[in-house]
Amino acid sequence: MALYSDKVMDHFQNPRNVGKIEDAQNVGIGEVGNAKCGDIMKMYLKVEDGIVTDCKFNTFGCGSAIATSSMATELIMGKSLDEAMELSNKAVVEALDGLPTHKIHCSVLAEEAVKAAVKDYYDKNGIAYDPEKFAQVHDCEHCAD
């Protein structure tokens, strides 16, 4: 059995939505990282009428970090902010047809990057929210907080 699925390899070798979005007025930016593995993800969400109309990312990290960032952007594009907030690391892993256990933390970072970008959008636009919805989800046994 191969260590990485065909979908992981495709999103690593041909990542979707790489880059950044400049229009700061309607953009939320979230940056997260894991000190243990050195991965850093920066996620940009352009929002119009509560819908993610564009999503880009920049990731410094391993192939799994790049693949999970790429997949996360595809999963939330066109979704409402509430739907984007529901994105879980498990959904990212499933969409990629799995990840090796020691790389699950990359999907956790992708989930956290999306949530951080939504929070930034809310903060910039004075939109009230429940802070508990934005708590870090680092529950991965392979990660160190």
Q: Which two tokens stand for residue 120?
A: 């930034």
Q: Is 96 exposed, middle or buried (0-12, 13-18, 19+ CB in 10 A)?
A: buried
How many residues in the chain?
Answer: 145
d(C-alpha 127, C-alpha 129), whole Å = 7
| Cβ contact 69:88 at 8 Å | no
Judge whether 57 and 73 are in contact, CB under 8 Å.
yes
How far, rounded to the nearest angstrom, does the alpha carbon of residue 131 sit from its chain's CA centroid?
18
Residues marked as catalytic: 37, 106
